[in-house]
Amino acid sequence: MTHAPILLWFRRDLRLHDNAALQAALQTGRPLIPIFIRDGLIENLGAAPSWRLGQGLDALSGRLGDVGGRLVLRSGPVMTVLKALIAETGATSVMWNRLHDPAARARDEVVKQSLKALGIEARSFSGQYLVDPWQIATGAGTPFRVFTPFWRALQQQEIPAPLSAPTRLPAPEVWPESEALEAWALGRAMQRGAAVLERHVRVGEAAALDRLSEFRHDGLAAYPDRRDIPGAPGTSRLSAALSLGEISPRQCWHAIMAEEAAGNSGASAFLRQLAWRDFAGHLLFHDGALPDRCWRPEWEDFPWNRSGDTPEVLAWKQGRTGVPFVDAAMREMQVTGTMHNRARMIAASYLTKHLLTDWRIGERWFAEHLVDFDAASNAMGWQWVAGCGPDASPYFRIFNPETQKQKFDPQGQYTTAWIAEMSPDPSPLALEVFEALPRSWNMSPEDAYPDPVVGLPEGRARALAAYESFRDRS
Ligand code: FAD
């Protein structure tokens, strides 16, 4: 029997609870060396998700320290790093939890084959989703394209109960050297915005578990009524923790299922929403081009504006379109790194319809600014709103931001919370916007609030005319 160490490769599973790779490694009784590798995929992350990852790694490092472990950080191509660590430590196994996006899958496949060729054991485990994307299929054995039948099928699945967290990790005799997290400067692209974001995020596994518990007891019952009201957030705000795996979807599922069993009437609405995350993962698994190409290929010929630099698109990015609901949404994202789901739909609809702009411009902007960035959910959300995705809202269904405001923000709590120029006595949040925005935008709370860059009726008419000519041609 070998006593050689196991390299436990953390990726987007920054937790000790419900960590199948960790549990499998522990069961061997061998020493564990937790590692994180900054490879090209990490380098490619947008500014806010990269910053948030740095925070998450710091928290994981502390968590591992509490149970006698250490997080060893290394940079470089994964196989180069793994080979070096194997040579330094004598490790004979590498274990990790699977990721299902195309770039990670392609990398992991090569890593697994290369390790096996070297005679190193390579084992991967599930846990990113409630069920692995290939475990669920239509009656005909094909991938789902529509959410409701997917949701029905998901409810028939056995969702594994979460695994417990270890209290002690077996350490190697000698720890390999680690690079310093500060030297990685994962937040560098955030510039001054990082200090603002820091006030609004809750980082790490312990914080995520606390948040789930708070939400379960204080927020869940009202979730169905409040989840659409951006000014009085009634949602779990767990998306960033789920995206980095500080908490697993199975932990959320089972905690909320227990509430359902106890008669909490908010539970099923939440579980359904959580299932959208799995649906997005399922779609991306079966179509790796989801973030890059219209899922309905004919939409590639739609007459989108394809420039991210027109005055209208710049106004959208800066939160000064003159449409309060849209501007509040874009500013919320600059300050908190998240945006309420209803606001994401309004902001995305406005860009793709009133401003007739390619959804990929918005998708990339969100990928740069969301701390909860998730390649699958972001691409699905954008394609859904733009009308070119699976199970999408039809293009001709154009959200009117004014009607949406009357319905979901009738007292203006959301818009006044975020737009300083609309109030003689701006809220602290509205003023924080100006700390977070790039100085080069030259925005000040003393500016007059802008007139709409496009009148809502004109924007709507322009979008519908474009749609009709597109439909007639295709
Ligand atoms: P809750 O309402 O408490 O829901 C619980 C969890 O369920 C969420 O944390 C999330 O993991 C999942 N979930 C809820 N709604 C959705 C949904 N519509 N699609 C997929 N998963 C969902 N979500 C991301 O996590 N990352 C993204 O990059 C992202 N980009 C989006 C872009 C657009 C244009 C749109 C319309 C939606 C996007 N979403 C994204 C989905 C959704 O807006 C967020 O998951 C949600 O706002 C997170 O808030 P919460 O944690 O309080 O959600």
What secondary structure does DSSP assign to 235-267, as a single string? S---HHHHHHTSS-HHHHHHHHHHHHHTT-TTH
- Judge if the beta carbon of residue 271 lies within 6 A of ligand 1: no
Closest ligand 1 atom to the C-alpha of 241?
9
Instruction: Judge residue 254's burial from the number of C-beta atoms within 10 Å of its C-beta, 0-12 exposed, 13-18 middle, 19 or more buried.
Output: middle
Rounded-to-integer distance, Cα 51 and Cα 45, Å: 9
What's the ipTM? 0.99
In this predicted model, what pLDDT tens digit does every residue of 340-397 receive, in sequence order? 999 999 999 999 999 999 999 999 999 999 999 999 999 999 999 999 998 878 888 8
- Percentage of the chain exceeding pLDDT 90: 96
Q: Is 119 left (phi over 0), alpha (psi -120 to 50) or beta?
A: left
CA-to-CA distance for 231 and 354, rounded, in angstroms?
Answer: 24
Q: Is 336 annotated as a binding residue?
A: no
Residue 240 CB coordination number (10 Å): 26
Residue 450's CB is within 10 A of a number of other CB atoms, namely 15
223 annotated as belonging to a binding site for a ligand: yes
CA of 82 to the centre of ligand 1 (A): 34
Q: In the prediction, which pLDDT does 139 show? A: 95
Give every strand in the sheet of 32-38, ordered side by side: 72-75, 32-38, 6-10, 93-97, 121-125
Residue nearest ligand 1's atom 25 by CA: 239
Residue 76 CA to residue 42 CA, distance in Å, equals 10
Cβ pair 391, 147 in contact under 8 A: yes
Shortest-distance atom of ligand 1 to CA 375: 28
Residue 374 annotated as binding site: yes
Q: Report angle CA 149, 153, 158 to the nearest 5 degrees.
A: 160
pLDDT of residue 392: 76
| End-to-end Cα spacing for the chain | 65
- For residue 273 and ligand 1, the question of a CB distance below 6 A is answered with yes
Asked if residue 93 lies in contact with residue 2, where contact means CB atoms within 8 angstroms, the answer is no
Q: Which atom of ligand 1 is nearest to the CA of 373?
A: 28
Rounded to an integer, what is the distance from CA 416 to the centroid of its chain? 26
pLDDT in tens, 13-62: 999 999 999 999 999 999 999 999 999 999 999 999 999 999 999 999 99
Cβ–ligand 1 distance for 242 under 6 Å, the answer yes
Amino acid 276 reads: W
- Nearest CA-CA partner of 338 in 408, 249, 239: 239
Q: What is the pLDDT of residues 296-341, one digit of tens each?
A: 999 999 999 999 999 999 999 999 999 999 999 999 999 999 999 9
Average pLDDT over residues 120-149: 96
> How many Å lie between the centroid of ligand 1 and the Cα of residue 337?
13
Alpha carbons 264 and 238: distance in angstroms, whole number? 19
Q: What is the pLDDT of residues 200-258, one digit of tens each?
A: 999 999 999 999 999 999 999 999 999 999 998 899 999 999 999 999 999 999 999 99
Token readout for 285 is 């698994």
Q: What is the pLDDT of residue 472?
A: 86
Q: How far is CA 440 from the centre of its chain?
A: 28
Q: What mean pLDDT value characterizes the chain?
A: 96
Q: Give me the mean pLDDT over the 133-138 stretch.
A: 96
Rg of the chain over all Cα atoms, to the nearest angstrom: 23
Dist. CA 233–CA 410, nearest whole Å: 14
Strands 121-125 and 32-38: unpaired
Q: Is 391 annotated as a binding residue?
A: no
Q: CA-to-CA distance for 346 and 83, rounded, in angstroms?
A: 48
Q: Quick one: average pLDDT of 73-77?
A: 98
Instruction: Please tell me if the CB atom of residue 345 comes closer than 6 angstroms to any atom of ligand 1.
Output: yes
